Amino acid sequence: MMIKNGLNKCLQKKFIVNNKLFYSSQAKPTRDSSYAIINNNDIEHFKTILDSHSIITDASEIDGFNQDWMKKYKGNSNLVLKPKTTDQVSKILKYCNDKKIAVVPQGGNTGMVGGSVPVHDEIILSLSNMSKIEKFDPVTGVVVCQAGTVLETIDSYLSPMGYTVPLDLGAKGSCQIGGNVSTNAGGLRLLRYGSLHGNVLGVEAVLADGTILDCLSTLRKDNTGYDLKQLFIGSEGTLGIITKVAMITPPKPTSVNVGLFACQDFNQVKTVLSRAKSQLGDILSAFEFMDRPCIDLVLKHQQVQDPFDEKSPFYILLETSGFNETHDSEKLNSFLESIMAENLIIDGSLATDSKNISAFWKLRESITESLGKEGAVYKYDLSLPIEQFYSIVELMRAKFNDKANVVGFGHVGDGNLHLNISTPKKPYSKEIFDMIEPFVYQYTSEHRGSISAEHGVGLMKPDFLHYSKSNNSINLMKSIKNTMDPNNILNPYKVLPK
């Protein structure tokens, strides 16, 4: 799926109450006046570092970089810089740090929390021109590439050599590996391959003062003190700009099956999950769920068919990936027999060829795009214990009644719920935000969940961070930020509360 700036006409709009912009129930932060305002001398200086094609000052060209794909967050930058080398990134940051000019790193701009666009007039440092795959070792499966390489490009490069990327997400055609690492993106196969904290072996990053930090190890094992690369994984561009990534990639499975199952209630979904884990074990590669309102939305906006004759409240998309077709089918068939014998599903269908597999995945992967076509969408990305997983969707549905469409889907196999609330054909409204926040965060905190399972904190959630992090943790995060970026030039207003 390809999502590019402006291509996706998702209709979300910022809204104004008492002349303050709101992106959540909190107001947009005011500009920190200690940052310099860029002038012609600065641009002349950047011309000594970059060629003229890599410096964008034309307002209409900058527009797409100033705004996120949901059209929810909009900044006001006058300058986009597109370096091609780590050395250029270093020179740009050194200059910005000396002059106290704020900078926002931008990858594919597919993020969900407003992290990749400026809040005010920060310089946008786009990694798009740094898209070289530098090395691949066919024995270890380690790939090294520049941060701006698009995820799908890496996968297409690896595929003929029998390898694949260890993460997969609906935005793969646009998101970049540097953006994935900076957000610690989860996605559809985390269940199988684990998080980027485990799969990323090394990172090259440029610190706020221009120092190039070479942590680009390609080793699986390296216990030489603090694992510094981990600081950049999930810190959303606030601690440094990732310029290169070394990542371990798994062999590409040769036998893939996808099952779509319908369930009567969420208890059945839970039990099927537990059976899938114990009976399918190493071949289980995805376990996603979606409720019926998600399917209705996808049917409304995409060219897809209702998967079964009867409608059901819940659907599971289960994928197995392995290397021995006979072995995998036997395992899957005996799993199917057992869940049917126990009446854990009311309907089911298996896809073994690539056309049907894609059709099943389309149902799941196009939920986001379909929601975007509806109206303002209020998106929440929560980690919750399985016992409380779906109750929050029911609570919100009861709260909103006919006022909004409340849907639940996501990576149930990883305990990650996507709770989305849409108000068809309506702009964002403070009234709706106030019905959701901080209630959803309080609920999550009460159940020791996380207010951001995979999308990050960005501009949307700094004021709510305390629902998932203790004061001591937030203070330590602030002191790490202060040590690494004392002038606070990197992605200001994001992640950390004031």
Residue ranges binding ligand FAD (CB under 6 A): 3, 69, 104-112, 115-116, 127, 147, 169-171, 175-176, 178-180, 182-183, 185-188, 236-237, 241-242, 368, 454-455, 458, 491
From the CB of 163, what's the least distance to ligand FAD, in Å? 20
Closer Cβ to ligand FAD, 180 or 285, answer by number: 180
Residue 438, preceding bond cis, omega within 30 degrees?
yes
Q: Which does 109 bind (CB under 5 to 8 A by kind): ligand FAD, ligand MLT, none?
A: ligand FAD
Question: 288 to each of 30, 316, 319, 483, how far by Cα in Å?
Answer: 40, 6, 9, 40
Closer Cβ to ligand MLT, 152 or 381, answer by number: 381
Question: 423 to each of 368, 410, 472, how far by Cα in Å?
Answer: 14, 20, 38
Q: How far apart are CA 74 and CA 101, in angstroms?
A: 19
Binding of ligand MLT by 268 (CB under 6 A): no
Q: What is the DSSP string of 82-111?
A: --SSHHHHHHHHHHHHHHT--EEEESSS--
Tokens coding 28: 């947009």
From the CB of 364, what's the least distance to ligand MLT, in Å? 7
Closer Cβ to ligand FAD, 7 or 476, answer by number: 7
Binding of ligand MLT by 408 (CB under 6 A): no
Binding of ligand MLT by 189 (CB under 6 A): no
Total residues contacting ligand MLT by CB under 6 A comes to 6
Q: How far apart are CA 155 and CA 134, in angstroms?
A: 14
Closer Cβ to ligand MLT, 90 or 368, answer by number: 368
Q: How far apart are CA 381 and CA 424, in angstroms?
A: 20
Q: Identify residues 417-436 at the interface with ligand MLT (CB under 6 A).
A: 418
Q: Which residue lies nearest ligand FAD, judged by its C-beta?
A: 179
Binding of ligand MLT by 373 (CB under 6 A): no
From the CB of 201, what's the least distance to ligand FAD, in Å? 17
Q: How far apart are CA 286 and CA 58, in angstroms?
A: 44
Closer Cβ to ligand FAD, 107 or 307, answer by number: 107
Q: Which does 104 bind (CB under 5 to 8 A by kind): ligand FAD, ligand MLT, none?
A: ligand FAD
Q: How many CB atoms lie within 10 A of CB 310?
A: 8
Closer Cβ to ligand FAD, 38 or 104, answer by number: 104
Per the DSSP assignment, residues forming a β-bridge with 409 are 290, 418
Closer Cβ to ligand MLT, 368 or 423, answer by number: 368
Q: Which does 489 bind (CB under 5 to 8 A by kind): ligand MLT, ligand FAD, none?
A: none
Binding of ligand MLT by 322 (CB under 6 A): no
From the CB of 168, what's the least distance to ligand MLT, in Å? 10
Binding of ligand MLT by 456 (CB under 6 A): no
Q: How far apart are CA 136 and CA 154, in angstroms?
A: 10
Binding of ligand MLT by 383 (CB under 6 A): no
CB–CB of 225/186 below 8 Å?
Answer: no
Closer Cβ to ligand FAD, 69 or 335, answer by number: 69
Of the candidates 256, 121, 232, the one whose C-alpha atom is nearest the C-alpha of residue 177 is 232
From the CB of 412, what's the least distance to ligand MLT, in Å? 11
Q: How far apart are CA 43 and CA 57, in angstroms?
A: 9
Tokens coding 451: 């207010």
For ligand MLT, which residue of 141, 166, 170, 259 counts as binding (CB under 6 A)?
170
- The upper half-sphere exposure of residue 164, i.e. CA atoms within 13 Å in the direction of its Cβ, equals 13
Q: Residue type for 496, please?
A: L
* Sign of the torsion formed by the C-alpha atoms of 231, 232, 237 and 243: positive
Binding of ligand MLT by 368 (CB under 6 A): yes
From the CB of 368, what's the least distance to ligand MLT, in Å? 4
Q: How far apart are CA 401 and CA 389, in angstroms?
A: 20
Tokens coding 439: 């209630």
Reported residue count of the chain is: 498
Closer Cβ to ligand FAD, 83 or 141, answer by number: 83
Q: Which does 418 bind (CB under 5 to 8 A by kind): ligand FAD, ligand MLT, none?
A: ligand MLT
Per the DSSP assignment, residues forming a β-bridge with 203 are 215, 245
Catalog residues that contact ligand MLT under the rule CB under 6 A: 170, 368, 379, 381, 410, 418
